[in-house]
């Protein structure tokens, strides 16, 4: 494992670094202390799981498959919701996230890949967020989003939206639920803040960071042996289905990452379900013959090279 060291063209992103370290440290100290002292109620679990799914899926469903890859279309209310709860995952605005992600696909494993795994696990997982280039690359790969009013509104206000939907909302829900639970109000509010806010944001972030780190280290490469991206059913469990990453890097516009019926891909299931309800349309998927052809070619190439 190599650890990134700031170079002259890089700077420490203090806001992101302090936020990441504080939420991580509180999750390892204050949260266990709270559980030991006050215990956990089923409402704490519901708050954690509910906000984990809402914010995590807003990244995989919204930021990733909808905005970055245009794998399907969705009406304004759906896009708006994913922008609100996507901000609450604290992984940047959709515009910045998409611009970085499109560069990741275009330059995978090379210098212009923002989370280039060949610079080491730490860099790909979190180091690239702590150390930013002094100048942000232009948004020339995201011109479609520059024209999207909702995306640009979120880009301008994403910190405020994130705090509102990622911390204040779970705190208020905890406060309101303290009344029927006959708990002191401050205790309900604090539990909402810790389980729906702090612990949840730490878990969502590291689960999605795994897509850039572990999903480029663990698993098989059925479609492209030269790319570091890998397919892993285990990683899919932690990433809302994004663990089939070799497939995704080979067919990035497919709305599915796990293409088999038994593949764990809740993001795919959500897109499909919303399409049946009229809340998603134009789902893009690669023909089975094309997928089989690419897989056969990759296997034949690997066999030839091993001889």
Is 102 or 200 the residue whose CB approaches Zn ion more closely? 102
Count of residues of this chain found to bind Zn ion when the rule CB under 5 A is applied: 1
Handedness of CA 243, 59, 61, 95 (dihedral sign): negative
Is 145 or 229 the residue whose CB approaches Zn ion more closely? 229
Q: Which of residues 95-114 bind Zn ion (CB under 5 A)?
A: none
User: Considering the complex, what minimum distance in angstroms separates the CB of residue 194 from Zn ion?
Assistant: 32
User: Considering the complex, what minimum distance in angstroms separates the CB of residue 73 from Zn ion?
Assistant: 17
User: Considering the complex, what minimum distance in angstroms separates the CB of residue 127 from Zn ion?
Assistant: 16
Q: How many CB atoms lie within 10 A of CB 287?
A: 8
Is 30 or 286 the residue whose CB approaches Zn ion more closely? 286
Is 145 or 161 the residue whose CB approaches Zn ion more closely? 145
Contact window for Zn ion (CB under 5 A) among 50-58, 227-235, 265-273, 290-298: 227-235
Q: Which of residues 228-247 bind Zn ion (CB under 5 A)?
A: 229
User: Considering the complex, what minimum distance in angstroms separates the CB of residue 200 from Zn ion?
Assistant: 23
User: Considering the complex, what minimum distance in angstroms separates the CB of residue 70 from Zn ion?
Assistant: 11
- Which CB contacts under 8 angstroms, 24+ apart, belong to 291-300? 291/223, 291/247, 291/251, 291/259, 294/223, 294/224, 294/250, 294/251, 295/222, 295/223, 298/221, 298/222, 298/223, 298/224, 298/225, 299/222
Q: How many CB atoms lie within 10 A of CB 164?
A: 15
Q: How far apart are CA 299 and CA 306, in angstroms?
A: 11
User: Considering the complex, what minimum distance in angstroms separates the CB of residue 89 from Zn ion?
Assistant: 16
Instruction: Report the residue number whose CB is nearest to Zn ion.
Output: 229
Q: What is the dihedral of CA 106, 110, 115, 119, to 10 degrees?
A: 170
Contact window for Zn ion (CB under 5 A) among 31-39, 130-138, 169-177, 221-229: 221-229
Is 111 or 289 the residue whose CB approaches Zn ion more closely? 111
Distance from the first to the final alpha carbon of the chain: 31
Is 163 or 259 the residue whose CB approaches Zn ion more closely? 259
For binding to Zn ion (CB under 5 A), which residues are involved?
229
């Amino acid at each position: 494992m190599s650890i990134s060291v700031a170079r002259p063209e890089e700077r420490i992103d203090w806001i992101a670094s302090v936020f990441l370290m504080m939420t991580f440290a509180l999750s390892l100290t204050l949260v266990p202390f709270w559980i030991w002292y006050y215990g956990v109620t089923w409402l704490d679990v519901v708050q954690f799981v509910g906000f984990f799914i809402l914010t995590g899926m807003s990244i995989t469903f919204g930021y990733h498959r909808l905005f970055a890859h245009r794998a399907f279309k969705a009406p304004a209310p759906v896009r708006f919701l994913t922008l609100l709860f996507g901000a609450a995952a604290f992984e940047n605005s959709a515009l910045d996230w998409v611009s970085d992600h499109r560069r990741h696909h275009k330059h995978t494993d090379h210098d212009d890949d923002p989370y280039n795994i060949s610079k080491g696990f730490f860099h790909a997982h979190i180091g690239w967020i702590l150390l930013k280039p002094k100048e942000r690359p232009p948004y020339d790969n995201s011109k479609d989003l520059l024209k999207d009013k909702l995306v640009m509104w979120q880009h301008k206000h994403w910190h405020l939206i994130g705090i509102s939907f990622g911390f204040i909302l779970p705190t208020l829900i905890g406060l309101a639920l303290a009344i029927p639970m006959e708990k002191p109000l401050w205790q309900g509010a604090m539990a909402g803040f810790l389980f729906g806010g702090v612990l949840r944001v730490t878990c969502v972030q590291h689960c999605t960071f795994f897509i850039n780190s572990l999903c480029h280290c663990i698993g098989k490469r059925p479609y492209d042996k030269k790319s570091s991206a890998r397919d892993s059913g285990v990683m899919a469990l932690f990433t809302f289905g994004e663990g089939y990453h070799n497939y995704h890097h080979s067919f990035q516009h497919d709305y599915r990452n796990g293409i088999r019926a038994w593949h764990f891909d809740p993001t795919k299931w959500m897109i499909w379900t919303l399409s049946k309800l009229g809340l998603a349309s134009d789902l893009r998927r690669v023909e089975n013959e094309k997928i089989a052809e690419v897989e056969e070619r990759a296997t034949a190439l690997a066999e030839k090279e091993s001889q």
